[in-house]
Structure 1
Amino acid sequence: MSGPRAVDQALLTAAAVMILIAGALVVYRIWRGPTMLDRAMALDVCAALMIAGIAVRSAFTRDAYYFPIMLVVAFLGFTGSVGIARFIAVRDRAPDRPAGGEDPGEVR
């Protein structure tokens, strides 16, 4: 194995280890919460880590076969994040005002 190839392998191995550590921390954040927004952000980071892991695998094998898979995972992660954000926005919306027209908590 040549010098540059050994450096490439070492850097890719270090990147894979860092991705695994980040994945463990993300799983902890999904498990512990404390809010739904924290869990949603952790799922978004999880999708990014999957893309990064696939990219490391692609660079390690020197194969471009995985690029379309990375695009699909990115699309699914984006649509999942948007769906969760819309769900949280609807759930956390302030209640409508009563039909009387005046807000009972309003000070004159």
Structure 2
Amino acid sequence: MSAPRTLDQVLLVAAAVMILLAGALVLFRVWRGPSMLDRAMALDVCAALMIAGIGVRAALTRDSYYFPSMLVLAFLGFTGSVGIARFIAVRDRAPDRPRSGEENR
């Protein structure tokens, strides 16, 4: 093996280890998260970490087979984040109170 290829593999393995460590910390935040918003953000980061992990796998195997699955996961992560944000926004909205003078109309 050549030196650049060995260096590439070492860096990709280091990236995989950092992704796994970040995944463990994210799962801890999902489990402990004091609020629903913390858990939602942790799940969004979890989706990003899965995409990064698949990217590292694709780089290690030098195979582009995984790119469509990364695209689908990115789309699902985005729509899930938007859905959770809308749910939290509706849940936390203050109830509408009629303004003075509008009760008699």
TM-score normalised according to structure 2 size: 0.93
Aligned residue-pair number: 100
Q: Aligned with 2:75: secondary structure?
A: helix
Equivalent position of 1:28 in the other structure: 28
1:66 and 1:28 map into 2 onto residues whose CA distance is 27
1:57 Cα shift?
0.1
The reply to whether residue 82 of structure 1 matches residue 90 of structure 2 is: no
**1:27-77: CA deviations, max 9, x gaps?**
000000100000010011000000000000000000000000000000000
Partner of 1:10: 10
d(CA) in 2 for partners of 1:28, 1:76: 22
Within 2, Cα distance between the matches of 1:51 and 1:4? 25
Distance 1:20 1:78 in 2: 21
- Pairwise CA distance, 1:2: 1.1
In the TM superposition, 1:48-67 aligns within 5 A as 48-67=48-67
Unaligned runs of 5+ in 2: 101-105
Say yes or no: does 1:96 pair with 2:96.
Answer: yes
> What whole-Å deviation, never above 9, does each CA across 1:62-107 have from its counterpart, x for those lacking one?
000000000000000000000000000000001111x4x34xxxxx
Q: CA RMSD for the aligned pairs? A: 0.8
Name segments (4+ residues, structure 1) moved above 2 Å: none
